Amino acid sequence: MPDADVPGTGWVALVGGGPGEPGLLTLRAAQLLARADVVVVDRLAPRGVLAELAPGAEVVDVGKRSGLHLVPQDDIDALLVERARAGQRVVRLKGGDPYVLGRGGEEAAACRAAGVTVEVVPGVTSAISVPAAAGIPVTHRGLARGFSVVTAHEDLVETVPARRDHTLVLLMGVSHLERSVSILLAGGADPETPAAVIERGYRDDQRVTTTLLRCLPDVAQQVGVTAPAVIVIGDVVTVSPAWGSRTVPHP
């Protein structure tokens, strides 16, 4: 653990920064950020906290855009190792939780393989918190007793139970929405299952759109959904205050 700072001995902390709202950063994350010599930051990490860093702390932005990786993963891994070996205290600030679809496991493994001390600080994942920001509990008595979190970048939606009482949370789902919905419907999902898209969770311009699974691709196109967004499919969506104003186009 990077607790006692020994001069010249670097470390890496893989820190989950939560969904973007600085208040959802953990105390451990704040402690490590305050001690960082360098912060290597993702696009969806809570950038507001960067204003609070120690004087002289460096910020390296490796933010990725959908479909366009500005800095390849290998280069990020190499950067973390190189800086820690040079004796720096490195905070790798990631969005949400580092181990939920965030490649944190690979970064931790790269550090360990290079003999660099690494601490992983869990964060508030967008998979649970962004639905919560829209008033959607991922489980709810009588509506859902479990949930799955998958990336829409692969055909994983076909591996989740096609049940309205098992909540499906899709990350990175905007550009593959039509394909994900077709896979779900082909797998036996009820077309009338409630669905929600929460864009820019916790930001001032957060937007929640609710509809039915069968209408989801059309509605998303109609309202102009853009990333980042979390997509929730399941009966729990009906708990959201936004459900009352759901969009259901006439067939």
172 among known catalytic residues: yes
Q: Are 129 and 47 in contact (CB under 8 A)?
A: no
228 binds ligand SAH (CB under 6 A): yes
Closest to ligand SAH by CB, 130 or 216: 130
In angstroms, rounded to a whole number, what is the distance separating the alpha carbons of residues 238 and 227? 23
In angstroms, rounded to a whole number, what is the distance separating the alpha carbons of residues 149 and 206? 21
Window 111-170: residues binding ligand SAH (CB under 6 A): 125-127, 130
Nearest residue to the partner ligand SAH, using Cβ = 96
Q: Give the binding range for ligand SAH (CB under 6 A) out of 1-9, 76-84, 95-103, 109-117.
A: 95-103
Closest to ligand SAH by CB, 10 or 228: 228
In angstroms, rounded to a whole number, what is the distance separating the alpha carbons of residues 222 and 129? 26
97 binds ligand SAH (CB under 6 A): yes
Q: Dihedral of CA 162/164/169/173: which sign? A: positive
Closest to ligand SAH by CB, 101 or 196: 101
64 among known catalytic residues: yes
Residue with tokens 């979390």: 230
Closest to ligand SAH by CB, 10 or 96: 96
- By CB under 6 A, name the one of 2, 10, 17, 95 that touches ligand SAH: 95
42 among known catalytic residues: yes
In angstroms, rounded to a whole number, what is the distance separating the alpha carbons of residues 189 and 193? 8
Closest listed residue to residue 40, CA positions, set 19, 21, 56, 57: 57
Residue with tokens 């969009």: 247
Residues that bind ligand SAH (CB under 6 A): 19-20, 44, 95-97, 100-102, 125-127, 130, 171-172, 198, 200-202, 227-230
